[in-house]
Chain A
Amino acid sequence: MKKLSEEGSPYEIDRMIHEPARLLITAHLYVVESADYVFLMQNTGLTWGNLSSHLSKLEAAGYVVITKEFVQKKPHTMVHLTEQGRAAFDAYRGQMKSLFDDLPMG
């Protein structure tokens, strides 16, 4: 039986997305064009520290872009999923679907 982490395996799972908090973040960013920190905190239920740490990892992987701007002299941060992030999320969805669809009935 192939291991999940084996290179080239059809079941190799993108661990950057697979982590539950990051999965929630990418799922929310997938359905919108862009969102700010407060929107993501409210909709994912993550604390600011958690959110910030996971977004940094997603940014480092090239999955999200974090844009800082000033609105009425106050800093405001918007986040959006990159094309690479969107493609990775699509691939993850496909993998999970095929993984569970292939399971024999117990």
Chain B
Amino acid sequence: MGSRSMLKQIEKRAWLRTFEHGLWDLGIGSVFLMFGLSIVTNFPPLSAIWVASFYPALRQTGRKLVVPRVGQAEFRGRRKRALANTTWILAAVALIGVVTFGFMFWQSSSDTPIWAEWISRHFVIFLGLIWGGALAVSGWILILPRLYVYGALMFGFLFATDFLDGYHLGHSLTVFGSLIMLTGVVLLLRFIRRYPKQDLSTVENHEETE
């Protein structure tokens, strides 16, 4: 193995270790779960309330659970860009959801043109393609194969919603979001068991006295 490929291995292992905790899965799953619950309960502000309260809590969980166990590193170059790009993609996923649901409410509440009706009849498939594609692209950027599975599942769920009678978009998104969040919880529990908490205060205080 050449020195460059060994360094690549070191970098890749360190990079992948920062995704073992499942907090990304909890974050992604919560977006879809809340979209689903917003539709089921017919209460759109639920998503905004959830995002405003859940994401700071998720960040805090990262500080309390992840940093004392595997530490913290700032990556260079393409990894740094990968994180920034994925954040933009996931923000776009949320925005597309908001715009789509706004469109749905507008379409169902007024006299709409034919094109709007056509889109609204099949919008679930487009939504599945866009959201599933966004998840797959994020998986490719971050080198996280499980995001490919999430992308395929998302498309499958929404495809079924559009073609099978009795399926409801709100329920599909709720089930899909719950599945991803459940995966996140399993990963988080496994992470906590695998990496015991390092006693940072002892380490840092010892260092202070040196």
8 A Cβ contacts from A32-70 to B: 32-43, 48, 52
With a 10 A CB-CB cut-off, give which of B69, B70, B71, B200 has the most chain A CB atoms. B71
Q: Choose from A34, A74, A77, A93 the contact partner of B201 (Cβ within 8 Å).
A: A74
Would B204 and A31 count as touching, CB distance under 8 A?
no
| A72, CB-defined interface residue at 8 Å | yes
| A18, CB-defined interface residue at 8 Å | no
Residues of chain B at interface, number, CB under 8 A: 32
Stretch at the interface among B8-16, B94-102, B137-145: B8-16
8 A Cβ contacts from A11-40 to B: 27-28, 30-40
User: A72 vs B69: C-alpha distance in the bound complex, in angstroms?
Assistant: 17
Stretch at the interface among B49-57, B74-82, B85-93, B126-134: B74-82
The closest CB in chain A to the CB of B3 belongs to A93
Q: Choose from B72, B75, B208 the contact partner of A38 (Cβ within 8 Å).
A: B72
Whole-angstrom distance from the CB of A18 to the nearest CB of chain B?
Answer: 13
Would A31 and B208 count as touching, CB distance under 8 A?
no
* Chain B binding surface SS class: helix
Which residues of the partner chain B approach A27 to less than 8 Å between Cβ atoms? Answer: 6-7, 10
The closest CB in chain A to the CB of B6 belongs to A27
| B203, CB-defined interface residue at 8 Å | yes
Which residues of the partner chain A approach B2 to less than 8 Å between Cβ atoms? Answer: 97
Assess A32 versus B14: contact at CB under 8 Å? Given A38-B200, A41-B198. yes
Which residues of the partner chain B approach A41 to less than 8 Å between Cβ atoms? Answer: 71, 198
Whole-angstrom distance from the CB of A37 to the nearest CB of chain B?
Answer: 6
Would A36 and B3 count as touching, CB distance under 8 A?
no
User: A30 vs B206: C-alpha distance in the bound complex, in angstroms?
Assistant: 26
Which residues of the partner chain B approach A76 to less than 8 Å between Cβ atoms? Answer: 200, 204
| A91, CB-defined interface residue at 8 Å | no
8 A Cβ contacts from A76-92 to B: 76-78
| A96, CB-defined interface residue at 8 Å | yes
Assess A52 versus B73: contact at CB under 8 Å? Given A31-B14, A43-B13, A74-B201. no
| A8, CB-defined interface residue at 8 Å | no
Q: Which residues of B contact A (CB under 8 A)?
A: 2-3, 6-7, 10-11, 13-14, 17, 63, 67-76, 80, 195, 198, 200-201, 203-208, 210
